[in-house]
Amino acid sequence: MKTLIKTFSNGVRLVYEKTENTKPATILICVNTGSVNEDNKNNGISHLIEHMAFKGTKNRTAKQISQEFEELGAIANAYTGQFRTCYFATTLNENIEGCFNILSDIVFNSSYDEVELEKEKKVIYEEIDANKDVPDTVIYENYLSNFYKNTPIERRVIGKKEILEKITRQDILDYFEKNYVGNRIVVSVVGSLPNQKIVEFVKKYICKFFRKKMEIEEPNKSLHIIPDRNFVFEKKDINQSQIIFGFPADNVFYDKSNAYPLMSFIFGGGMASRLFQKVREEHGLVYSIFCQPYLHSLGGDVLISFSTNEKNAKKAMALIKEEIDKLVKDGITDKEYERAKTFSKSVLISSFENGASHATKNATNLSIFNKIFTVEDILEDYDKISKEDINQVIKKVFNYCNICGNVLTKNPDETLFDVFK
């Protein structure tokens, strides 16, 4: 694959990965704004804008948008996160220009009709209620709000009903004008058309919306969030206790950040991981258990999550504590180290075969680091991570003074985390 990276005079950035075969093409418009850019008066507005993009523009009705995408054979969708809002379409290479036309229209030219706005708010209210019926979604959102308390990450991407109800069309227009600016736009494309064609499409359909380059504050690469030790218990009539707890980690700019996924895979990422083998296979206390890192520009955390019958919760926690202590004391084995690298490389290579996944990776890396990483770059970086690098991360992360946890259960037992004293 050959990669083109171009920054236009208005700040819009393009990354184009040219393939040599007839794979479907993916176009992704990434806007570097999300819930971290909101405040307590407009929380949820980024997600609301994403929804409204498909509800009509000055050129197309909502029905026409759907029909035109389907006429191009395009699968189109969007999603909002804490740091980015992304709109994308996957289609045949010969239909790329048509998708550029529609995507740019819905992202930068939405009408935000007030009648449609009120209807779409109701759709999001249904989404909020639906999430409340999914215990693992509830517990994860609660955990983020707890771990990242008093930081922008504590705000929920989907927002809250009482805040969304008060958001007006003018609020949307003000937020859009402030955040949908050229410097925050990354266009990521994977396809097989000539480079010049893609550059022309970006100029024709996207750059026209931005007259000048805006100044954007550079990220603080030294941010490292350290929460106070804290546990939150919530009562809910569910069959199993949902439990999440986590520890502070480095941010995404840490030069050996790939030590985190390798460590997490060894400890709780696969069926051969220590937590899976001990808590599920040996003792049968859980159906699944995970250890996952989350590194971002404002900090990071490593979380452990599982669900179990109430009567088994304390035993499961004791076993996890036992495995953490062993990991910190003895480190990882040579076999674990090699297995983690081999598996991670396999997953990485597979992900680059998926056009949408590939486009997303490129957009994310360009947004954060202002460069992209090829599969060869990442494979080389994995090889640079030593066994000792992983053991150093382990000793740095698992500090019981900074543990934060959340429990969702029928009968809360506030002594559950006493094992970590």
Q: So which residues are the catalytic ones? A: 50
> What sign does the dihedral 241-246-252-258 (CA atoms) show?
negative
Alpha-carbon span 402 to 273, nearest angstrom: 24
Q: How far is CA 294 from CA 50, 138, 248, in A?
A: 24, 18, 10
Amino acid at 354: N
Amino acid at 319: L
Here the tokens at position 310 are 């109430």
Whether 332 contacts 394, CB under 8 Å: yes
Alpha-carbon span 251 to 300, nearest angstrom: 5
Here the tokens at position 181 are 């600016």
Which secondary-structure segment (H or E) carries 96? helix 96-108
Q: Which of 192, 183, 204 shows the shortest CA–CA distance to 16?
A: 192
Per DSSP (E only), the strands in 275-318 are: 289-296, 299-308
Whether 316 contacts 286, CB under 8 Å: yes
